[in-house]
Structure 1
Amino acid sequence: MLMAQAKGDPALARTLRLALAGTDGSGRLAVEVEKRLRTIGRSRGFIEWDKVRPLARELDSLRETIAGPLAATDPRAAVAQMRLLLSLADNVFERSDDGSGTLGEVFRGVGADLGRLWSQVPNRDPVALAADVLTLWDADGYGETDRLLEAAGPALGPEGRAELRRLLQARLVALPRPRKEDAFEGWQGRGQIAFRLRDLADLEGDVDAFIAATEAGGRAEDFAGDIAERLLAHGRPAEALAWLDRAPERHESEEVRHTDLRLAALDALGRQDEAHALRWAAFQRWLTPQHLRPYLRALPGFDDVEAKERAMAHALEHPDRNLALAFLVTWPNLEAANRLVRAHHAEMDGRDYGRLRPAAEALAERYPAAATLLHRALAEDVLRRTASRQYGYAARDVRACASLAPLLTEEPGLENHGAFLARVRREHGRKTGFWALLEGQA
């Protein structure tokens, strides 16, 4: 009955054939799996966006069949079929647009399963396995082996890991030292090998090998945070600080990370005064609650009250008004957030909906005027930019203004809702898509 039903459903038919094959032993199951994998591998047509997820589901189902029923009865056949599945990555990626990352996730899972399956093969040769890992890395064009080494660790064992390190180091030695004028291109090859050596060092928990690999790859100071993190985990805070001192200036998120690592090192060394000063400096720069809270806790007596007032005053004067608003709402200090909005709403960036919209919602109950100003800023920014794809959000913000309107009191400089709508219609009346959404016609 199921096979009859599957005549009009190719995906169901393939699933049923695999299920039936599994009842006849591993030999037939391996044949059916390989047949389907080779069919996919021979395909050349472009995979349209609406076919990407169905293909990902099928590939994942094949992965589960190989790692489950086939591996349970014939681990060697399972390894062969998992390798075949992994080899499809280039073909599939070149024929599709994996903007969602769905296919990438499936193939990374295939790589990890292959590493685990190697452990199930009896009498495996760890030295030969190390060469296999290197071959798969060389063929990796889309990151499908990102999880291979960690999963293959038990199968490689100490002997296999030592061989893999020997092979990588031999490649590194064989590379010519880059000329100064070709430094970037020259270090790219070294950097890739160093990246693999760092992964191997992490697998063995060897921080000194991690540092050596990083230095061999060049520009080791660019990885100062990674090195410091591992040194701290191994109880070596003084060395971690020395590496952080070598780090070049980076983007904000990396600077925050380096600061947190520096704080951990200073705390571990008992240098509390330096850590205390650094937490305040970090808060002043980034308005980070995670730095302010321990700073306040460390203050004696009632000094924390005065320091908290100083922190709120600093936030109110911070030049990044959106950042300041997000901090005050998160802390929370809604009274100060209200003051900030009332004084500086014209300076706030309406594109920053990730901060302004949650702030408007947090302020709505106690400070409806401030919430209204934020919703208006969000809506008017969309209209000024004629960002038609965001008209739905703008309409939602205007409706939020309408719901808050009965709570507003008349005051100088604050338009009532009717006056606001009239002005927006004068300035943006031709944006019919927005007005249709607002009036429920689209």
Structure 2
Amino acid sequence: MTRNRRTTADPMEEQIERALQPGAFIADAACSAFVGHLEHIAARIAELINSDPPRAVALYEAFLAACHVKVEELDDSSGSFGQFVLDLYCGWITARQADGADPAATAARLLACMDDDDYGFCHQLETEAARVFDKANLAAFVALVRARFDAAGAPATNEGALRDRSAYLRRRWGAVLRTLYVAAQDVGAYVALAEESGLGAQDCHTIATLLLAKGQPEQSLAWVERGIDVAGQVPQAAMAGHDLATLKRQLLAKVGRRNEALDGAWADYRQRPSRYTYDELLQFVPAAERGAWHARAMDAAMEAPRGAHLNSLLDLLLTSGETGRLADVVRQADDDALEHLSHYVTEPIARALETTQADVAARLWRAQAMRIVNAGKSKYYAAALANFASARRCFECAGLAAEWQETVRQVRADHHRKGGLMRGFERLVAGSAASDEPSFLDRAKARWSGRQ
């Protein structure tokens, strides 16, 4: 039976159709390569924007239409296909602008897409669109979104469903307007909207950032201080409050109040010693005084409460080269505390201290192994055995063979039923580590040689 093919007005449409593989399901593992081929075709369409914008517009619209059908035939767990469609929308906007299309019509069609978005392709479309809008199209889109925001005012009735719907729409279109005002660098409109719909700490940070970009650090600082006051009244604004405090120090330095910035950075560091607060502190320290401030900062870190901040403290001491203090902190920590640390922190420390502080390295290697074994993560037992082997080597180098024997006793007592672990562990205890056995490939080659 001969398959009927439609005749397309543009030969590139046939390439789009072939690339989308109609009827074939695209698994998540294959989605990245699939999208890569689509991106190649989209790049060819983008090349037409300057030379033949009407054709580019038509091709973008055909591509978007096809993608809205193809989405039902693929697994986009990675999100790559959704991002690709979002990029297509931006290409379509650019092509329409190059074609001289009516900005109001473009804005209306975008809003229609955002309203009818069953697959979530238009989630935060305004953010991407704002990057490609020209001045006229941005103004047209702002006008239509503002009309929707105003139309979502408080309903005349007190019925709960209508009231909740109205509040949702005002939040939604208010958020879109905020994004657009930032793109337009329209500080006045942003301030008016924020005060109308509820000024938050994040709003203050955004306004301050806009003012700073316009070369107005004093006004920016005033908004930062206002935002810090707002954040202090709302427990959920902790992250915004942290960002505001960081920005405040930068502004203080910019307006000639560097000592105040240094005081603020020092207070923040003392409360939460970490490599990040340390790096920020040094930004405000005069170059000639850095040695003294480093010593002062390290003393303060050692005096700070440990508890939940042990991870950050160890990371700070390692990155700042304070290996002596680092070893002291590990020695003072109990085994349970070490076993709760991330291996991303403990492994680099263990490697750094193996040659100079073998006893400390041994405890860290053991802690990493016990963390895996106690959690019963069988797929990581090979890593646990490697860690046990490193712990044994370091214990022996430090003259602490009894510590290794106690580790052996503990593992045998608590984990003797974990056969997959104990077979390798007993070989390690007997002196034959798993790495001493022939590898899979070596065994295969030996077997093949025998057959030959």
Letter in structure 2 aligned against 1:420: T
Give, in whole Å, the separation in 2 of the partners of 1:344 and 1:99: 42
Contact 1:108–1:146 (CA<8 Å) still a contact in 2?
no
Which of 6, 9, 13 matches 1:31? Answer: 13
Deviation digits for residues 378-428 of structure 1, max 9, x if unmatched? 2111111112343343234224324534532338xx713x54245323322
In the alignment, does 2:338 pair up with 1:360?
Answer: no
Which of 368, 376, 379 matches 1:378? Answer: 368
Give, in whole Å, the separation in 2 of the partners of 1:83 and 1:135: 14
Identity over aligned pairs, percent:
22
- Give the deviation of 1:338 after TM superposition: 0.7
Contact 1:82–1:110 (CA<8 Å) still a contact in 2?
yes
Q: Give the stretch that moved more between structures: 94-103 or 124-133.
A: 94-103
Give, in whole Å, the separation in 1 of the partners of 2:137 and 2:95: 15
Give, in whole Å, the separation in 2 of the partners of 1:94 and 1:309: 57
Which of 413, 418, 435 matches 1:426? Answer: 413
Letter in structure 2 aligned against 1:82: Y
TM-score relative to the length of structure 2: 0.76
Give, in whole Å, the separation in 2 of the partners of 1:357 and 1:184: 51
From the superposition, tell whether residues 386 and 305 of structure 1 become closer, same or farther in structure 2 (CA, over 3 Å): closer
TM-score relative to the length of structure 1: 0.78
**Which aligned pairs between 1:11-410 and structure 2 lie closer than 5 A?**
28-33=10-15, 35-36=17-18, 40=22, 43=23, 47-68=26-47, 71=49, 74-88=52-66, 91-93=69-71, 96-121=74-99, 123-140=100-117, 141-142=120-121, 143=123, 145=125, 148-154=128-134, 157=135, 159-177=136-154, 186-218=166-198, 220-234=200-214, 235=216, 236=219, 237-247=221-231, 248-250=234-236, 254-287=240-273, 288-294=277-283, 296-297=285-286, 304=293, 307-315=296-304, 317=306, 320-346=309-335, 347-350=337-340, 352-410=342-400
Give, in whole Å, the separation in 1 of the partners of 2:384 and 2:197: 49
From the superposition, tell whether residues 214 and 358 of structure 1 become closer, same or farther in structure 2 (CA, over 3 Å): farther
* Gaps in structure 1 of 5+ consecutive residues: 1-20
Give, in whole Å, the separation in 1 of the partners of 2:252 and 2:68: 47
Contact 1:350–1:356 (CA<8 Å) still a contact in 2?
no
Give, in whole Å, the separation in 1 of the partners of 2:290 and 2:423: 60
Contact 1:266–1:275 (CA<8 Å) still a contact in 2?
yes
Letter in structure 2 aligned against 1:238: A
Give, in whole Å, the separation in 1 of the partners of 2:31 and 2:374: 36
From the superposition, tell whether residues 90 and 172 of structure 1 become closer, same or farther in structure 2 (CA, over 3 Å): same
Give, in whole Å, the separation in 2 of the partners of 1:233 and 1:48: 45
Give, in whole Å, the separation in 2 of the partners of 1:214 and 1:89: 37
Give, in whole Å, the separation in 2 of the partners of 1:305 and 1:65: 55
Contact 2:369–2:383 (CA<8 Å) still a contact in 1?
yes
- Give the deviation of 1:175 after TM superposition: 0.7
Match of 1:4 in 2: none
Contact 1:109–1:147 (CA<8 Å) still a contact in 2?
no
* Gaps in structure 2 of 5+ consecutive residues: 1-6, 426-433, 441-452
Contact 2:327–2:357 (CA<8 Å) still a contact in 1?
yes
RMSD over equivalenced CA pairs, Å: 3.6
Contact 2:358–2:398 (CA<8 Å) still a contact in 1?
yes
Contact 2:224–2:244 (CA<8 Å) still a contact in 1?
no
Contact 1:228–1:244 (CA<8 Å) still a contact in 2?
no
Q: Give the stretch that moved more between structures: 170-179 or 297-306.
A: 297-306
From the superposition, tell whether residues 56 and 205 of structure 1 become closer, same or farther in structure 2 (CA, over 3 Å): same
- Give the deviation of 1:252 after TM superposition: 6.3
Contact 2:202–2:227 (CA<8 Å) still a contact in 1?
no
From the superposition, tell whether residues 242 and 144 of structure 1 become closer, same or farther in structure 2 (CA, over 3 Å): closer
Deviation digits for residues 355-379 of structure 1, max 9, x if unmatched? 2223323333432222221221121
- Give the deviation of 1:167 after TM superposition: 0.9
Contact 2:228–2:241 (CA<8 Å) still a contact in 1?
no
Contact 2:149–2:170 (CA<8 Å) still a contact in 1?
yes
Letter in structure 2 aligned against 1:132: R
From the superposition, tell whether residues 28 and 114 of structure 1 become closer, same or farther in structure 2 (CA, over 3 Å): closer
Contact 1:190–1:216 (CA<8 Å) still a contact in 2?
no
Give, in whole Å, the separation in 1 of the partners of 2:185 and 2:79: 30
Give, in whole Å, the separation in 2 of the partners of 1:144 and 1:201: 15
Letter in structure 1 aligned against 2:229: D
Letter in structure 1 aligned against 2:38: L
Deviation digits for residues 256-298 of structure 1, max 9, x if unmatched? 3232112123333444443232212211222121233246548
SS in 2 for 1:320: helix
Give, in whole Å, the separation in 2 of the partners of 1:185 and 1:266: 43
